Structure 1
Amino acid sequence: MGLYNFGLRMLKADLKRCVLYVISIIFSTAVIFNFFNIMFNSNFSVIDSNYSMIYKMEALGIIFIAILFVFFCNSYFIMGKAKGLSIVSLSGISIYRLIELLLYQTFIIMIIALPLGLLIGISIMPTFILMMYKILGISDSVWIFSMQGFVCTIAVIAMEVFFLVLVNAGYAYKKDIKDLLAVEKQLYTPDKKSFKFAVMYLIIYLIPILLVPANLGEDSIFFIFLVITIGVYGAQGVIQYYIPYKIGNIKKKKYISHKLKLISFSNLNYSLRKTNFLVIILAISSVLFISLIGSYSKVSQLKAMSMFSYVVIMIFMSLIIIYKVIIEAVNRKKSFKQLNILGYSEEQIKKIIREEIEMFYCITIGVPLVHILVLLITYGKIGIISIASALVLLGIFIITFVVTAIITYRAYKKLILGSL
């Protein structure tokens, strides 16, 4: 069997993961095109020229998240190729041929996904422009295709593909056969950091709470944002060190003999390690856009654009997390099947999945929520954001991720129970 034929067979054998990866690239490409298209729209550039740069920066922020989405999905896609790559390595082919195989598979995916993403992006362009016009109070033709936006989209996609190729080639080059065989079997390994080190992150994470009783004015907006940013730095340590430490203690002291909670806690620990970066991006982006909404609350168009960007970011981050959990579920099929063989009933497996998802989303929602609440309360006290706006922003965040949790649980449960 030729190397390329084997590569195609590998893609077909893992069709579900490949389809999810293709969909992620299509969605990301469509979003990138539409935001570049609106950035170079003459109406978008002219209106409120004093704030046009902020509009563009918000659009670039969403484009960055869209690119991040693809790279995150690629990391799971490449991990799924580990077993096939190890089989090929055992046959004695050189590392360069192995890289060639992986790049061939990557290009197959890109050739399918990127044109479809551009076509879908162009097809939804009128609806997207109409929506943006309503936000910005513009009345004009929705059939405005920006060649500059299209060229920028192609340039970003080309860079994206280039770096994906580098990442995937580097992955194949660095991993030996033993590592490739162990990739999908790796469990959570506790960090060796001391408890005092973990508590230090918790203290940094809680520092922004001091803003609530503080006597601040409208001129303190930058200071508030700076303090919240410091808190976000602490948040990554809380997720990476403090929470795993506490979960480890709970497992040892309370649930060491509990056959359901022990598994759900172990799965949670692994999921948190994989999601740490995402939660930090979620925290930073939510705080940043809430700050923009508060800072320009008197500029209705900019406030509306920031609100729209905030919603898009929340949806994007929720989709990334859903993708992550679904891929984890695909990877855990065999483990749950073994539990079923050992005597675990479907109801017990459902309970393990439900407990894991409940705890996972409590942490995913709860960690950024503390800083969001502090920011909204502080902005409300100094009068730069109304109670109604604060409740809307809070509601968008909570509702988006509660709905995401429900979707995630159902998808996770369906995948696992369908494999038993």
Structure 2
Amino acid sequence: MIFKEALRSLRNSMSKAVFFALTFYITTALLFVYFNMAEAASTGPEVYVTNNNLADIIELLSKGNISNLMMVFVVVMCAIDLFFCNDFFVKNKAKELAVRLICGATYIQMAMYLLIQTVLLMLVSIPFGIGTGYLMLGGLNAILAKSGADIVVGISSFAMVEFWMVMLFVISVITLLNCSFAYKSGAVLLSGGNIAAMKKQGGYGVTNTKIFQLLLNLAGIIAALFPLYGFFKGSGGLAIMALIGCVGLDRTINYVLLPALTAYNRKRGTADTVKAAANGFVRRDVQFSKITVYLLIADLMVMMSMLFARENSPVEKLLIIFSYIAIAILQSLTIMFRLETDLSSRGKEYAILSQIGTETGMRHKIMHTELRRYYLFVLLLVVIYVGMALVSAAFTGGATIGEVSLLGASVIIPLIAVWLITVLYYQTILKKA
């Protein structure tokens, strides 16, 4: 009985199920190719850190095997992407769980209801991901052959052990998260609460004075702009600069840009209700999904740092570029999942707009204005940080024009694609409002 109801739920939410399976599919293919290529690239000399001082760490980053340096980073990023995807999928099941809970379902029944759906999607996506990864190895070997590299990337038994250990770990954690969500639903959904609701605590003492806050805002703006100076000065350290920039950017967005947007709405909101409503929604979108934008920028900066700041072999260079493209796609999907998790509850606001007499055309105009401003904001940040880093690499001779074009398009195209997908998803919400 539960199995049939789980299948019916999957059929009714097919679009969400497809994106859940697509994310698992891309991640599986990436990890399969990555571990096999990493095993092929790990033939160089090992460099170890003995004294844990800065000189040894720099030597490790510049001369150590790229497979060892990237392993933890790639695995963690893939896991984060899958967790955001899973969060989007299961939170859209909250109402279904609430109905089942009211009808007398137990915690075990609700957990099984979620697990059946997620396990079925994994069983479909993981084999296809492995098959795609196997086919991609042939294409990557052809690229290596054309570049003159005397190495062939094959399927390594050691790499497969690593691959399955990571996949089993991710599947286990997602299973625990889904069981936890089913448990929290019993305590929160019926009381009308929000699982993600968090209250900010006010500041006290000197940290709450206007002068101190202004100084912090100024420091945030300087930190956000500092990477641009470093890029064109050619000082290197893209990953460190990205971290500094994201910290400053977070302060600038929270305490400069968003308050300025609120002040603009209060001053001129009555002149154009469409822009005022869209600005309000954009403010909420940025607050909810900004962490995924920071992850996108930081991840790509780390990849570029490994690509441009080292002397890489052909297989190492191909491994980095492949990981860069795959992570750009996955992180773009993560931005979409994080945003759509919040948009799934946006129907209430549009229902209110409908009740006060807002026409359908105006509601659609608000939607398009909101998404256009949000994604243009994300694209602007990507162009400022990632784009400027690529341009500076081209000027300093670290990258060719072809590499800059490939790496830039690998970020821009997925973001535009998820923009269009979000529009389609948003339209389904408006129809139900």
Cα distance in 1 for residues equivalent to 2:406 and 2:215: 30
Aligned residue for 2:269, secondary structure, equals: coil
Q: C-alpha displacement at 1:139, in angstroms?
A: 3.9
Aligned residue for 1:255, secondary structure, equals: helix
Contact 2:45 2:64 in 1 (8 A): yes
Question: What corresponds to 1:152 in structure 2?
Answer: 162
CA 186–33 in structure 1, closer or farther in 2 if over 3 Å, else same: closer
User: RMSD of the alignment, in Å?
Assistant: 4.1
Contact 1:30 1:117 in 2 (8 A): yes
Structure 1 alignment gaps of length 5 or more: none
Aligned AA (2:85): C
Cα distance in 2 for residues equivalent to 1:172 and 1:19: 22
Q: C-alpha displacement at 1:413, in angstroms?
A: 3.5
Question: What corresponds to 2:182 in structure 1?
Answer: 172
CA 12–262 in structure 1, closer or farther in 2 if over 3 Å, else same: same
Q: Establish whether residue 8 from structure 1 lines up as the match of residue 7 from structure 2.
A: yes
320, 329, 333: which is aligned to 1:315?
329
Aligned AA (1:73): C
Contact 1:86 1:180 in 2 (8 A): yes
Question: What corresponds to 2:104 in structure 1?
Answer: 92
Q: C-alpha displacement at 1:60, in angstroms?
A: 4.8
Question: What corresponds to 1:366 in structure 2?
Answer: 380
Structure 2 alignment gaps of length 5 or more: 48-62
Cα distance in 1 for residues equivalent to 2:215 and 2:184: 35
207, 210, 213: which is aligned to 2:223?
207
Deviations 1:96-154 (A, max 9, x none): 4433333333323322322332233223331234345656x424556x22222222221
Aligned AA (2:123): I
Question: What corresponds to 2:57 in structure 1?
Answer: none
Q: Establish whether residue 269 from structure 1 lines up as the match of residue 283 from structure 2.
A: yes
Question: What corresponds to 1:232 in structure 2?
Answer: 246
Deviations 1:319-354 (A, max 9, x none): 333444566666546765775676545543443233
Cα distance in 1 for residues equivalent to 2:262 and 2:307: 40
Cα distance in 2 for residues equivalent to 1:308 and 1:336: 42
Contact 2:35 2:162 in 1 (8 A): yes
Contact 2:144 2:151 in 1 (8 A): no
Aligned residue for 1:145, secondary structure, equals: coil
Cα distance in 2 for residues equivalent to 1:376 and 1:365: 15
CA 133–327 in structure 1, closer or farther in 2 if over 3 Å, else same: farther
Q: C-alpha displacement at 1:282, in angstroms?
A: 1.6
Contact 1:33 1:121 in 2 (8 A): yes
Q: Which stretch has the larger CA shift, 75-84 or 318-327?
A: 318-327
CA 207–19 in structure 1, closer or farther in 2 if over 3 Å, else same: closer
Aligned AA (1:24): T
TM-score normalised by length of structure 1: 0.78
Question: What corresponds to 2:301 in structure 1?
Answer: 287
Aligned residue for 2:273, secondary structure, equals: coil
- Kindly tell me the number of residue pairs found equivalent between the two proteins: 408
Q: Which stretch has the larger CA shift, 410-419 or 160-169?
A: 410-419
Q: C-alpha displacement at 1:411, in angstroms?
A: 2.9
CA 65–349 in structure 1, closer or farther in 2 if over 3 Å, else same: same
Question: What corresponds to 2:42 in structure 1?
Answer: 45
Cα distance in 1 for residues equivalent to 2:119 and 2:387: 44
TM-score normalised by length of structure 2: 0.76
Contact 1:315 1:400 in 2 (8 A): yes
Deviations 1:234-273 (A, max 9, x none): 2233344543333322222222563312332232223223
Q: Which stretch has the larger CA shift, 116-125 or 166-175?
A: 116-125
Question: What corresponds to 1:126 in structure 2?
Answer: 138
Identity %: 18
Aligned residue for 1:92, secondary structure, equals: coil
384, 388, 407: which is aligned to 2:417?
407
Q: C-alpha displacement at 1:61, in angstroms?
A: 3.1
